[in-house]
Amino acid sequence: MAQTHILGYPRIGADRELKKAQEAYWRGDISQQQLLQVGTDIRRANWQAQSDAGLDFVAVGDFAWYDQVLNHSLMFGVVADRFVDGAAENKLDQYFRLARGRAPSGQPVAASAMTKWFDTNYHYLVPEFDAEQAFCLDSGWLLAEVREAQAQAHRAKPVLIGPLTYLWLGRGVDNALDLLPNLLPCYKQLLAQLGELGVAWVQMDEPILGLDLPAEWRSAFSGTYQEISAAAGNPKLLLTTYFSPLRENLPLAFSLPVDGVHIDCVRAPEELESAVALVGEGQVLSAGVLNGRNVWRADLHKWQRTLKPLAAQLGDRLWLSASCSLLHSPVDLKTETALPQAQKQKLAYSRQKLAELAQLQQLLQEEAAAAEAGTEQGESTHSVAEKLRDTWREQCYLERASVQAKRWQLPLLPTTTIGSFPQTDLLRKVRRQYRNGEISEEDYLEHLRAEIAEAIRRQEILGLDVLVHGEAERNDMVEYFGEQLAGFVHTGNGWVQSYGSRCVKPPIIFGDISRPQAMTVTWSRYAQSLTSKPVKGMLTGPVTILNWSFPREDIHRSESCLQIARALREEVLDLEAAGIGIIQIDEPALREGVPLRAAGHADYFAWAVGCFRYTCSAVKPETQIHTHMCYSNFNAIMDAIVSLDADVITIESARSDLRLLSAFADKTGGYPNEIGPGIYDIHSPNVPEREELVERLKKIAQVVPVERLWVNPDCGLKTRSWAEVGSSLLNMVAAARAVRDEL
**From the list 715, 729, 733, 736, which residue makes contact with ligand GLN (rule: CB under 6 A)?**
715
Q: What are the respective helix, strand and coil percentages of the chain, to the nearest 5?
A: 45, 15, 40
Phi-psi region for residue 679, left (φ > 0), alpha (ψ -120 to 50) or beta?
Answer: alpha
**From the list 149, 318, 363, 630, which residue makes contact with Zn ion (rule: CB under 5 A)?**
630
Longest Cα–Cα distance of the chain, Å, equals 81
List the interface residues with ligand GLN, window 472-501 (CB under 6 A): 477
**Is the Cβ–Cβ distance between 538 and 472 less than 8 Å?**
no
Helix axes 722-742, 690-703, angle to 10 degrees: 50
Closest separation between CB of residue 473 and ligand GLN, Å?
12
683 classed as catalytic: yes
Residue 553 assigned to a binding site: no
Closest separation between CB of residue 148 and Zn ion, Å?
42
Residue 419 interacts with which of Zn ion, ligand GLN, none, CB < 5 to 8 Å by class: ligand GLN
- Core vs surface per residue 88-104: b (16+ CB within 10 A) or e: eebebbbbbbbbbeebb
**From the list 534, 588, 688, 713, which residue makes contact with ligand GLN (rule: CB under 6 A)?**
588
Residue 186 assigned to a binding site: no
Residue 538 interacts with which of Zn ion, ligand GLN, none, CB < 5 to 8 Å by class: ligand GLN
Of 86-94, 104-112, 179-187, 415-423, the window that binds ligand GLN (rule: CB under 6 A) is 415-423
Of 118-126, 179-187, 340-348, 412-420, the window that binds ligand GLN (rule: CB under 6 A) is 412-420
Closest separation between CB of residue 729 and Zn ion, Å?
16
Question: How many CA within 13 A on the CB side of residue 175?
Answer: 9
Contact between 716 and ligand GLN by CB under 6 A: the answer reads: yes
Q: Enumerate the H helices of 62-179 as residue ranges.
A: 68-75, 91-100, 140-151, 163-169
Contact between 418 and ligand GLN by CB under 6 A: the answer reads: yes
Cα(185)–Cα(199) distance, integer angstroms: 19
List the interface residues with ligand GLN, window 602-631 (CB under 6 A): 628, 630
Distance from the first to the final alpha carbon of the chain? 77
Cα(539)–Cα(508) distance, integer angstroms: 19
Q: Pattern 539-578, binding to Zn ion, x per CB under 5 A?
A: ----------------------------------------
Nearest by Cα to 146 from 137, 158, 138: 158
Q: Enumerate the H helices of 601-721 as residue ranges.
A: 601-616, 638-644, 661-666, 690-703
| Residue of minimal Cβ distance to ligand GLN | 716
Report which secondary-structure segment, H or E, holds 543. Answer: helix 542-547
Contact between 586 and ligand GLN by CB under 6 A: the answer reads: yes
Q: Which is nearer to ligand GLN, 351 or 536 (CB)?
A: 536
Of 333-341, 381-389, 418-426, 639-647, the window that binds ligand GLN (rule: CB under 6 A) is 418-426
Burial of 428: CB neighbours in 10 Å, binned 0-12, 13-18, 19+ = exposed
Burial of 461: CB neighbours in 10 Å, binned 0-12, 13-18, 19+ = exposed
Residue 458 assigned to a binding site: no
**Is the Cβ–Cβ distance between 213 and 244 less than 8 Å?**
no
**Strands 260-264, 535-540: parallel, antiparallel or unpaired by DSSP?**
unpaired
Size of the site for Zn ion (CB under 5 A): 3
Q: Enumerate the H helices of 170-238 as residue ranges.
A: 180-196, 215-229
**From the list 103, 114, 535, 538, which residue makes contact with ligand GLN (rule: CB under 6 A)?**
538
Residue 310 assigned to a binding site: no
Residue 305 assigned to a binding site: no
Contact between 420 and ligand GLN by CB under 6 A: the answer reads: yes
Q: Which is nearer to ligand GLN, 581 or 716 (CB)?
A: 716
Q: Pattern 238-277, binding to ligand GLN, x per CB under 6 A?
A: ----------------------------------------
Contact between 466 and ligand GLN by CB under 6 A: the answer reads: no
Selecting among 382, 447, 469, 683, the annotated active-site residue is 683
Closest separation between CB of residue 419 and ligand GLN, Å?
3
Residue 128 interacts with which of Zn ion, ligand GLN, none, CB < 5 to 8 Å by class: none
Give the C-alpha distances (Å, rounded to integers) separating 347 from 377, 463, 510, 553: 20, 51, 10, 12
**Strands 624-629, 58-60: parallel, antiparallel or unpaired by DSSP?**
unpaired
Cα(167)–Cα(220) distance, integer angstroms: 12
Closest separation between CB of residue 621 and ligand GLN, Å?
24
Contact between 715 and Zn ion by CB under 5 A: the answer reads: yes
Active site residues: 683
List residues forming the annotated binding site for Zn(2+).
628, 630, 652, 715
Judged by the rule CB under 5 A, the positions of this chain that interact with Zn ion are: 588, 630, 715
List residues forming the annotated binding site for L-homocysteine.
418-420, 471, 586
Judged by the rule CB under 6 A, the positions of this chain that interact with ligand GLN are: 418-420, 471, 477, 538, 586, 588, 628, 630, 715-716, 718
List residues forming the annotated binding site.
16-19, 116, 418-420, 471, 502-503, 548, 586, 592, 628, 630, 652, 715
